[in-house]
Amino acid sequence: MDHPNYYKRSPNPYLHYPYPYNYPYRQYQPVNPQRFIDSANKMIPILKDAEKITTHISKSFDFSKRLMTLAQESKLNEVKNMLYQIGLSTKPDIRFTPSGLVLNFANSKDASNCCLLQLKIRWAE
């Protein structure tokens, strides 16, 4: 059923109003991008550390094999030591599962929890 242009459809397809439908006006808060910019700047060192880890894993077969072996043996402290020896400025929370490594990077210097990066690297299907 075609309606003339001056009729607008309501959100409910079963109700049609014989007068133009006005959607409720929505007010938005004023935008201040400073917090957003600050959070992005605080993410830069976290991203660099994530890149250091992924580069080291991808370039060193021996490092990767040793890391996986220690993780499978549930030797968390040894896994932490291996990753921290890469030279990270941010210490991630480290977990491993049967299928991979999970690293949660957070900007611990900031009490507002502005920045969080979760890195998952799989080693099994």
Q: Residue 17 has what pLDDT?
A: 55
Q: Does the pLDDT at position 121 exceed 90? A: yes
Q: Residue 5 has what pLDDT?
A: 47
Q: d(Cα 44, Cα 50) in Å, to the nearest integer?
A: 10
Kindly indicate the confidence band of residue 56, based on its pLDDT and cuts at 50, 70 and 90. very high
Q: What percent of the chain has pLDDT over 90?
A: 54
Q: Does the pLDDT at position 95 exceed 90? A: yes
pLDDT in tens, 24-42: 677 888 888 998 898 899 8
Name the residue with tokens 């991203």.
Answer: 47
Q: Residue 102 has what pLDDT?
A: 95
What average pLDDT does the chain have?
83
Q: Residue 120 has what pLDDT?
A: 95
Distances from the Cα of 89 to the Cα of 42, 85, 96, 120, angstroms: 12, 11, 21, 19
Specify burial of residue 20 (Cβ count, 10 A radius: 0-12, 13-18, 19+): exposed
Map the chain to HEC letters. CCCCCCCCCCCCCCCCCCCCCCCCCCCCCCCCCHHHHHHHHHHHHHHHHHHHHHHHHHHCHHHHHHHHHHHHCCCHHHHHHHHHCCCCCCCCEEEEECCEEEEEEECCCCCCCCCEEEEEEECCC
pLDDT in tens, 105-120: 987 666 667 888 999 9
pTM of the complete model: 0.71
